[in-house]
Amino acid sequence: MKAFLAKRKTILKGVGWTLFVVLAIAASVGTIHAASGIEPMGMSPLMFFIGMLLICIAIGVFAVLAGVGGGVIFTPLFMGFTPIDSYIIRSTGLFVAMAGALVAARPFLRRGIANIRLLFTGAVPYTVFAVIGALLAGYIQTHMGKGGEAFINGALGLIVIGIAMLFIFFGGKSEYPEVSYMDKFSAKLGLAMPYYEASLGKVVDYKLTRVALGMVLFCGVGLISGLFGLGAGWAMVPVFNLVMMAPLKVAATCSKVMISLGDTAAVWPYIVGGGMFPLFAVPSMIGLIVGTLIGARLMLKVKAGFIRYLIIAVMLFSGIRLVQKAIGMM
């Protein structure tokens, strides 16, 4: 009986999510014409600034409540639903992700929760490939024209849909993973650094494993981050936590600090390429940081579960819209 009920629950859950995805596709198709018709409508720069500020505050609040970085919502949302050139959006997306991470790094490192050794180890492949991604973005922008733009939109759309699926089906994280076997490379590096866990009132010791595999995965994560202008915490946390078996808090804080390093390297090619406009970048930055601060306070009062579904819906809309845009460009 129990097995039957469990099976029925799983089937119902599957049907529910399928309906949700179908609805998301339908709603996204409905917005396709509306989005391409956006015009300034005599909007003054000041009104644009205030509008951007408010939108980005909302993105910042929702991002914190959903447990993702602002950049991962900002870039697909603006690329999917505004006609703004994707190179400008991606450069701004990288900048806002980096700015938020720079401000957040200090308390994590002061308390020793973010492991500086672990993050430098991960940051080497991440930074190198984030730069390669940013250079590739510049190359695509300069030499590939519409085809390149279609590729960027389509690929980012698929990645964003993939992230949404990741949230739906593989949300499981391990707070304190147990490492039963440490490979030679991981053991030799001596990455682990104990930290004081205030919620437990104890010092937490941990081991790390599969560091080489983690470094390989960070190459891919860096490339995606640099090429598409996303903060990549959504991918870094699972690599640290599920592959390298770092405690969840260490994984989350290390990923935040690593964004500040890798995205700094990736953002400069966009800046020196003239792809950033202060009128767009400054309100986005202020809005996301203010939104993050508000979200952190709201987190104690709001049910985060509902927000998570909302973010999944936004990401599905954006992803589908980006794929549609790419198909339309081909």
Partner 1 sequence: MTEERQIPKPLLSGIIYGEFAYWIALIGMGVSIVGIVLYLIGINQFFDPQVVLDGLFAGKDTTVIWKEAANSEVMHGHWYLQVLAKSDAIAMLGIGICCLAGVIGAWGSVVGMIANKEKPYIFLVFALIIAVILAMSAGGLISVH
Residue nearer to partner 1 on the CB measure, 171 or 190: 190
Tell me the HSE value of 317 on the side-chain side, using a 13 A CA sphere. Answer: 18
Q: Does 290 bind partner 1 (CB under 8 A)?
A: no
Kindly state the smallest distance separating residue 185's Cβ from partner 1, in Å: 11
Among the listed residues 142, 183, 305, 330, the single contact to partner 1 using CB under 8 A: 142
Among the listed residues 196, 302, 306, 310, the single contact to partner 1 using CB under 8 A: 196
Among the listed residues 65, 230, 244, 281, the single contact to partner 1 using CB under 8 A: 281
DSSP one-letter string for 219-288: HHHHHHHHHHT---HHHHHHIIIIIS---HHHHHHHHHHHHHHHHHHHHHHHHHTT---HHHHHHHHHHH
Size of the site for partner 1 (CB under 8 A): 84
Spatial separation of the C-alpha atoms in residues 88 and 92, rounded to whole Å: 6
Spatial separation of the C-alpha atoms in residues 327 and 330, rounded to whole Å: 5
Among the listed residues 156, 244, 246, 261, the single contact to partner 1 using CB under 8 A: 261
Q: Angle 70-81/278-298 helices, nearest 10 degrees?
A: 130
Among the listed residues 203, 302, 310, 330, the single contact to partner 1 using CB under 8 A: 203
* CA angle at 184 for the pair 183 and 189, rounded to the nearest 5°: 105
Q: Does 129 bind partner 1 (CB under 8 A)?
A: no
Q: Which of 205, 215, 196, 217 is nearest to 246 (CA)?
A: 205
- What tokens does 52 get? 């951007």
Residues in region 225-254 near partner 1 by CB under 8 A:
none
Q: Does 61 bind partner 1 (CB under 8 A)?
A: no
Q: Does 285 bind partner 1 (CB under 8 A)?
A: yes
Q: Which stretch binds partner 1 (CB under 8 A): 15-23, 68-76, 192-200, 292-300?
A: 192-200
Kindly state the smallest distance separating residue 228's Cβ from partner 1, in Å: 16
196 — phi, psi (to 5°)? -85, 120
Among the listed residues 103, 150, 168, 293, the single contact to partner 1 using CB under 8 A: 103
Q: Does 139 bind partner 1 (CB under 8 A)?
A: yes
